[in-house]
Every structure is written in structure tokens, then in C-alpha cells.
Amino acid sequence: MTMARPAGPERSSAVVEPHASGTLFIVAAPSGAGKTSLVRALIERDPGLALSVSYTSRPPRPAEVDGVHYHFVGREAFLAMAAAGEFFEYAEVHGDLKGTARRAVAPLLAAGRDVLLEIDWQGARLVRSQAPECRSIFILPPSRAELERRLRGRAQDSEAVIARRLANSREEIGHAHEFDYIVVNDDFAQALADLQAIVRAQRLRQAVQGERHAGLIAQLLA
């Protein structure tokens, strides 16, 4: 599968200021790996993480809520936003446009908040090129059989869509090596614990703690 750039305006991006003290986390996965469920559970358990809700040109699925799962806009409206430079990153995924609005990321990072982006490998590559200090995580299913079972279990897509997502998953998984961390979602509780460990480890790095506790360090050295 080739995930081409959407026709029309060039990709646009916001610059993450180097002085921003928040950490940008990226989570990507093939459809059916359980990424969304893991991300929602992680956000619920960690009030220090802010989830950036992406924009998409596709219509909502049953039970999806605008502004919670995605910001749902039409294709023309999406392209208009792209032309106006409103996206941090965007790409065409499975035939639908998806993107992260710059206003949903930069202010939070500048305020010291950690921000999580739930995006595809293509968007992750673009974000890493602009914000190399970010931390990226790829979620893998335990097997192809389980991946197909989960896709069918959602009962949201046609056979043609399921077949396309399964075929596309090979290329998506082929980019897993580009990420900082890989988490296998076999046991949900363990996969969630792994994500929490990654976030906690990042927050305990010297560069982060040194900035956060500069006053304490200066006091101890006095």
C-alpha cells in the first residue's frame, strides 16, 4: 500500500519551540491492534497527559463522538484547513484525510504539558523530523489471526474495508522499526502497564528532571 500525500495543498506544520518543557508522545499502530483503547485507558489514568484529538474527513462510526474520538469535517473543509496552514501534520490514511491541528499541540507543550498524538506512521515520521525530542511508540497485535479477529469483532466495516486494512497492515508494521518503543498488545493490562512505564521513564530523564527541579538542585548545591 502506498499512503500518498493528499492532493491539493502541501503538508503544513507548526514548529515546536525548543524551550517547550512538555514531552510529545506519538502512538501508532495498524488498525485492529487496540491502539485507541490503550490510549484512552492511558489518558484516563494519567492526568498529566493531554490527548490531541485529530481531524478526519471520514464520517463518524457508530458510537463515535465529535470532539472526543475525532473532529469530523468534510473533505473540502479539511483541505481548506490544510491550505490555511492549520495542521501540525496530515496525511491520507485508508482513503481518509487525518491530521493534527497545530493549536492542539504547541500551546500545551509550551505550558509544560505532555501531549499524546494518536496518528499513523506517515504522520509520525513527519512529526519526528520536526520534533526529534519526541518519543514514539508502535503498537503490535500478537498475531495476524488476532488482528483479523479484532477487525471483524468491531462490526463496523464492510468485508472490502477489512480486507484493505489487513493488506495495509503489512506496510504499516514494516515501519515499526522507525519508532523508539514497540509494545505488543496481547494482554491489555500488560500493554497498558508498558505504556505507563514508557511515559514515566521519559519524565524521569535527566533533561526533564533537571528543568523541573532546577530550583531544588540549585538549593542543594548552595
Q: What is the pLDDT of residue 137?
A: 98
Q: What is the pLDDT of residue 219?
A: 95
Q: Evaluate whether the domain defined by 24-52+113-221 bears CATH number 1.10.260.40.
A: no
Three cell numbers written together for 188: 491489555
Domain ranges for the chain: 24-52+113-221
Please name which of 164, 139, 132, 138 lies closest in space to residue 151, comparing C-alpha atoms.
164
Instruction: Provide the Cα torsion 199, 26, 195, 2; round to 10°.
Output: -160
Three cell numbers written together for 187: 494482554
Q: How confident is the model at residue 207 (pLDDT cuts 50, 70, 90)?
A: confident
Q: What is the pLDDT of residue 20?
A: 40
* Torsion sign over Cα 88, 2, 51, 204: negative
Question: Which pTM does this prediction carry?
Answer: 0.78
> Tens of pLDDT along 208-222?
888 888 899 999 999
What is the C-alpha separation between 114 and 106, in angstroms, rounded?
11
